[in-house]
Structure 1
Amino acid sequence: MACEARAGREGSGRPGPLLRLLGWLLICLGCALAPGGGRVKVHRYPLWFLEQGKLGGGYAVGYSRAYARRDTAVAEALRDAAWRMVRSRKVYIEAEQGFTEDALGKHFQGERYRILVDTSLVEATAGGLEPLDVAEVGNMLIVLAGKEPPPEGYKVRVPVPSSAPSWTTKPPKRPGWVYAVGAAPRYFYLQNSWIYAERDAYLELARIVGLKIWDLRKALAGSPEGVQMTESRAVLLGAEVVARWEDVEKGAFYVLVRMPF
C-alpha cells in the first residue's frame, strides 16, 4: 500500500481548543488585524464550506492558493479534495507530546505527528470527481468536489456568523458519534488557517480514541520532578468535517469533525 505522510512538529501546548488559542487571543485583543497589521476583510464563504456536514456523503472540499491561472488553482484544489476524501474513508494517525514537570507545574516541550493515507487511491478518486462549485475567498481558492450537485441553496455565499457556534467550546455528544474540534490562528495564506485547524481536529480525534500516557518520575520520595509522554495511535474510519467557523475579531479558525464510533 502506498502511503503519503503529512508530518510536522509543534512547539506550543495544546490540551484543548480554548487553551491552544489563549496566546493568540491575548495578542489579538479583539482587533481584526491581518498579519501585516491591516484591517481584516470579512469574507463571504459558500454555505457548503461552512456547513459541509449537512451535504451528506460523496462530497469533499479542496484547497489551493488563488493563482493567476485559475485552471491551475482548480486542478490543485481538486487533487487536494481527492486526498481529503481518501483520508475521510481511512487514515492512520500517530502523535506524541512531551511534558516536563517540576515544583512550578507542567511544561509542554513539543509535539510530533504523522498522518498517513493510501495515496494509490488518490488519483483514481480524483478521476471520478467534478468541480461542482469554485469560490475565491481572499487569497484562497476552494472547490466543492463530487459527482452530483449539492442540495439546493448551498452554493450561496454568506458571511460567517458573528457569534460563536456552541460546538467551538463544547463539541456535540450524540449516540454513535465522537466529535472533536480543531483550531488555528490566522495565517497570511487563508487556506493554511483552515488546513491547520482541520489537521488539529483530526489529531484531537486520534487522541480521543487512541491515547496512552507514559509518566516517568524521579525515584526520590516526594519529588515532583518528572517527564510525561502522551502517545496516540489510531486508525480513523469515516471521519469527516462537519462545520467551520472563523472568529474574525480574534483571528481564530475552528473546524468540527466527527467519526462513527
Structure 2
Amino acid sequence: MPHSNNTLFAVGYAQTYFYRESSVEEATVNGINNLAKSVSTRIKGERGFKDTKFGPEFAGEFFKEELEGGVLDFVKKNHKVIATETVGDITLVLLSTGEAPTLSSAKGFDKKAPEWVSKLPKKPGFVYAVGQSSPQFHEEETWQLAEYNARVG
C-alpha cells in the first residue's frame, strides 16, 4: 500500500455517471473499503477436490474477505479525499489517512507507465501482489476484480 510519513493512500474506482457527484461518492466508498482492506482484512476460503481414479480433481473454491468493524469505522472517520479524476468511463478518487495535501488534477495522468508496473521495487518489509481480471462490461469492475485477485489470489 502506498504510504508516506504515517499516511496511507488508496484509490477508489467507480463507473462515470451523468452526475459527477454520484461517481465521486461511489468511488470514495470503494476507496474507503480498499484502504480498510489494506490496513487489516481477514480472508477465509476453501477449495474442494474430489477423488477420481486418476487422482484428485479440483471441484471449486470460495474466498471471502472480512473487514474488521473498528478498522472500517476508523477509515470512514479519518479519510481525506486528495484528488479526483475522470478518465473515460471510470472515475478515480485518491484517498489518504492522516495529513496529506490536496492535489490538483489539472495535470491529468501521465501517459507513460510508471517503472514499478514492470519492475517491482525492492524494499524490505513490503509485500507486493499482482492481480489480473478478464475484461468486464464496466471498466471499474475489471480493476476491482484484479485488486481482489491480488489480495486473495
Q: TM > 0.5 between the two?
A: yes
The separation in 2 between residues aligned to 1:151 and 1:186, in whole angstroms, is 30
Could you tell me whether the CA contact under 8 Å between 1:83 and 1:119 is conserved in 2?
no
The one-letter amino acid paired with 1:78 is: T
Of 201, 210, 213, the match for 2:150: 201
In terms of Rg, which structure is larger?
1
Could you tell me whether the CA contact under 8 Å between 1:131 and 1:145 is conserved in 2?
yes
Could you tell me which runs of 5 or more consecutive residues in structure 1 were left unpaired when the two chains were aligned.
1-51, 205-261
Of 111, 114, 118, the match for 1:165: 118
Q: Which residue of 2 aligns with 1:6?
A: none
RMSD over aligned CA atoms reads 3.2
Q: Is residue 76 of structure 2 the alignment partner of residue 126 of structure 1?
A: yes
Q: How far has the Cα of 1:103 moved from its partner?
A: 6.3
Residues 96 and 78 of structure 1: CA distance in aligned 2, closer, same or farther (over 3 Å): same
Could you tell me whether the CA contact under 8 Å between 1:82 and 1:123 is conserved in 2?
no
> What is the correspondence of 1:4-23 to structure 2 with a 5 Å cutoff?
none
Which one has more relative contact order, counting CA pairs under 8 Å at least 6 apart? 1
The separation in 2 between residues aligned to 1:144 and 1:85, in whole angstroms, is 10
Residues 101 and 159 of structure 1: CA distance in aligned 2, closer, same or farther (over 3 Å): farther
Sequence identity percentage = 26
The separation in 1 between residues aligned to 2:91 and 2:57, in whole angstroms, is 38
Q: Is residue 135 of structure 2 the alignment partner of residue 183 of structure 1?
A: no
Question: TM (normalized to structure 2)?
Answer: 0.75
The one-letter amino acid paired with 1:195 is: Q
Residues 60 and 139 of structure 1: CA distance in aligned 2, closer, same or farther (over 3 Å): same
The one-letter amino acid paired with 2:126 is: W
Residues 119 and 137 of structure 1: CA distance in aligned 2, closer, same or farther (over 3 Å): farther
Could you tell me which runs of 5 or more consecutive residues in structure 2 were left unpaired when the two chains were aligned.
none
> What is the correspondence of 1:97-112 to structure 2 with a 5 Å cutoff?
97-100=47-50, 102=52, 107-112=57-62
The separation in 2 between residues aligned to 1:178 and 1:58, in whole angstroms, is 15
SS, match of residue 129 in structure 2: strand
Q: Which residue of 1 aligns with 2:32?
A: 82
Q: How far has the Cα of 1:138 moved from its partner?
A: 2.5
Q: Greater shift after overlay, 174-183 or 65-74?
A: 174-183
Q: How far has the Cα of 1:120 moved from its partner?
A: 4.8
